[in-house]
Amino acid sequence: MQAHDAMYIDGAWRPAIGASAIEVRNPATEELLDQVPAGTPEDVDAAVRAARAALPGWAAADPAERAARIGALRNGLAARRAEIAGTVTAELGAPLAFAQAVHADLPIAVAGSYAGLTREYTFEEQIGNSRVLHEPVGVVGAITPWNYPLHQIVAKVAPALAAGCTLVLKPAEDTPLVAQLFAEVVHEAGMPAGVFNLVTGLGPVAGEALAVHPDVDLVSFTGSTAVGQRIGAAAGGAVRPVALELGGKSANVILPGADLTRAVKAGVANVMANSGQTCSAWTRMLVSADRYDEAVELAAAAAAKYIPGDPRDERTRIGPVVSAGQRQRVTGYIAQGAKEGATLVAGGPEAPEGCERGWYVQPTVFADVTPDMTIAQEEIFGPVLSILAYEDTEDALRIANGTVYGLAGAVWSEDEEEAIAFARRLQTGQVDINGGRFNPLAPFGGYKRSGVGRELGRHGLAEYLQTKSLQL
C-alpha cells in the first residue's frame, strides 16, 4: 500500500488543510507504524461538498451500473486480500489467520453480496394506484470503529453505494491504514469522483464535524453507546435519520440438557476472538446451577489454550488489544470484578508472561459472578468472560434480558425448537442457535441501547433509502 499523507476527496488524494497528524502504532510492539493527517472541520466540509456535487449523477445511475462498480470494488479487495490481512494485523494486532479469515474475507463477501443485491432490489413497486419509489437518502456520513475496521467500512459503504448515496468516511484513528487501502481500491474500481470520500482524523474533531454537518443527510455510526447517544441527540435536533450500531453485553444461555462441552468451548472461543474486542461477543455465560461447577472447569481449561503471542505467527490464537488505553480499560474491569467478589479462575489484570512489550491482556474467566456486578452489566471490550448461574429457565431469561444492551446472544439446547422458543423471548437483535453460523445476508443490529437500524443484506440496504409515493 502506498503511504498517504493526504485525504481522498473528490476522486483524488489531497493534502490536509491542517498540519497535525495522528500516529499509528503496532499494538504488539508499540512501534510507530505510520502517521495519517488529523482532519479538520474544513477537510470534512470539502469532502461533504464533493459528495453533494456527485450525488445527482450517482443517484440517477442505473442499478446495474452501480452493481458493476460494487462488483469491481469486491474484486479489488479480493486481489489485495493478503495486504488487507497484513495491514489489520499490524495496526489492530489481530492474529494473521483470523485477519485473513475474518478481517479480509468477510468484507469481500459482504461487498459481493451487495453487488448481487443491487441488481435484484426492487427500487420501484406498484401498490394499488400508487407507484412507490425507494430513493437514496442522500449524502451519508459514515463513522466506523477500530475493532473490525474494514468490515465496518464495507458494511456501510457497499449498501450506501447500492442505494445511490454518496459518502464521506471518517475511520477510527487507531486503524486508519486499512481505510486508506480501501480508498485506493475504490479509486481503482472506477468509482466516479466524489461518490466516496475519506477524511482521517480524531473523533471529537473530524467525527464531530461530520456528525453535525448540515449537508449530511444520514449519519451511520458504529461505536460506543455514549458517543451514539450524542450523535442521536444531534440528529434529532436536525430531524435527520441515523443508523447506530452500539455496544453489547450478550448472553450465552446454555439450557439444561445441552451439550455442555461444546457450548462452553464455543462460548470461550467467541469471547477470545479478536482479543474480545467484538461488540456482539457472548461475554456472559449462563449455566444451570446443577452444571455450573463443570462449566467453570471447562471454561478455565479452554481459556488456558489461548496463549497471547506475536500476531504475525500463524500459530497465535490471541494477540494484544488495540492500544494502551484499551489495555488499561480492560485490566481495570478485571480488577473491579475481583474487588466485587467474583472469582478469577483464569487470567487476571497482570501482563501475560513473556509479553512485557505490547498491549497484551491475559484471557480471563470469572466465576461466582452475580447479575448486579459491574463485569456483568458493562461492556468490557476485552478477552473477559463472566459465568453466571441460573435456577431455572425463567431465571435465565431474566438474567439474559437484565442489561441495557440487546445486540446479540446464543442459546444451546438438545432440542432446537426449545432453543428457538427461548430465543424468541430474548430482547436482542441476533441469536445463534446451537452454534449457528454467521450469515452476511441476515440483518445485524440491536435492541435497547445497542442501537437503531440494521446492517447487512436487504435490511442494511433499506437503511440508505427513503420512500416516495406517486398516486396515479
Taking the C-alpha atoms of 350, 353, 354 and 360 in order, what is their torsion angle to the nearest 10 degrees?
A: -40
| 471 φ, ψ (degrees, to nearest 5) | -90, 115
Distance CA 18, CA 161 (A): 29
**Confidence band (pLDDT; 50, 70, 90) for 254?**
very high
Give CATH superfamily name and number for 7-246+450-471.
Aldehyde Dehydrogenase; Chain A, domain 1 (3.40.605.10)
Q: Which of 166, 153, 141 is nearest to 219 (CA)?
A: 141
Unique residue bearing C-alpha cell 481449561: 301
Question: Is a pLDDT exceeding 90 seen at residue 3?
Answer: no
Does domain 251-439 correspond to CATH entry 3.40.50.300? no
Q: Which residues are catalytic?
A: 245, 279
Mean pLDDT over 180-204 rounds to 97
pTM of the predicted model over 0.85: yes
Is residue 1 pLDDT above 90, yes or no? no
Q: Strand 12-14 to strand 7-9: parallel, antiparallel, or no bridges (unpaired)?
A: antiparallel
Per-residue pLDDT reduced to its tens digit, 313-366: 989 999 999 999 999 999 999 999 999 999 999 999 999 998 989 999 999 999
User: What is the C-alpha separation between 157 and 143, in angstroms, rounded?
Assistant: 11
pLDDT category at 4 given cuts 50, 70, 90 is: confident
SS3 318: strand
As given in the structure block, the three cell numbers for residue 219 are 449519519
Q: Where in the chain is the domain with CATH 3.40.309.10?
A: 251-439
CATH 3.40.605.10 positions along the chain are: 7-246+450-471
Distance from C-alpha of 98 to C-alpha of 472, rounded to nearest angstrom? 54
